[in-house]
Amino acid sequence: MRTTKPTRRSDCPICYSLDFLGDKWTLLVVRDLVFMGKRHYGEFLKSDEGIATNILADRLSKLEAAGIIRKSVDPESRVKNVYTLTEKGLDLVPLMLELVAWGAKHDPQTGAPKAFVRRLREDRAGVIKEIRKRLAKG
Amino acid sequence: MRTTKPTRRSDCPICYSLDFLGDKWTLLVVRDLVFMGKRHYGEFLKSDEGIATNILADRLSKLEAAGIIRKSVDPESRVKNVYTLTEKGLDLVPLMLELVAWGAKHDPQTGAPKAFVRRLREDRAGVIKEIRKRLAKG
DNA sequence: CCGGATCCGTTTCGATACTG
DNA sequence: CAGTATCGAAACGGATCCGG
For residues B110 and B36, give the distance between their C-alpha atoms in angstroms, rounded to a whole number: 17
Compute the CA torsion angle A27, B91, B56, B41 (nearest 10 deg): -160
Q: According to the model, what pLDDT value does residue A5 have?
A: 35
The conformation of residue A137, written as its DSSP 8-state character, comes to: T
Assess B118–A contact: CB distance below 8 Å, yes or no: no
Tens digit of each residue's pLDDT (9 = 90 or more) over B57-103: 999 999 999 999 999 999 988 899 999 999 999 999 999 999 999 99
Tens digit of each residue's pLDDT (9 = 90 or more) over B100-125: 999 999 987 766 888 999 999 999 99
Tens digit of each residue's pLDDT (9 = 90 or more) over A89-134: 999 999 999 999 999 999 877 668 889 999 999 999 999 999 999 9
The conformation of residue A48, written as its DSSP 8-state character, comes to: T
Strand C close to A109 by CB, under 7 A: no
Has residue A2 got a pLDDT over 70?
Answer: no
**C1' of D5 to CA of B70 (Å):** 45
Tens digit of each residue's pLDDT (9 = 90 or more) over B2-41: 333 333 333 455 666 777 789 999 999 999 999 999 999 9
- For strand C, the positions having any atom within 7 A of a protein Cβ are 1-7, 12-18
Q: According to the model, what pLDDT value does residue A6 have?
A: 33
DSSP SS3 for A25: helix
Q: According to the model, what pLDDT value does residue A16 have?
A: 66
Q: According to the model, what pLDDT value does residue A26 have?
A: 96
Please give the distance of CA A66 from its chain centroid, rounded to a whole number. 13
Percent of chain B at pLDDT exceeding 90:
71
**Which residues of chain A lie closer than 8 angstroms to B25, CB-CB?**
22
Tens digit of each residue's pLDDT (9 = 90 or more) over A38-81: 999 999 999 989 999 999 999 999 999 999 999 999 999 989 99
For residues B27 and A127, give the distance between their C-alpha atoms in angstroms, rounded to a whole number: 26
**C1' of C2 to CA of B122 (Å):** 42
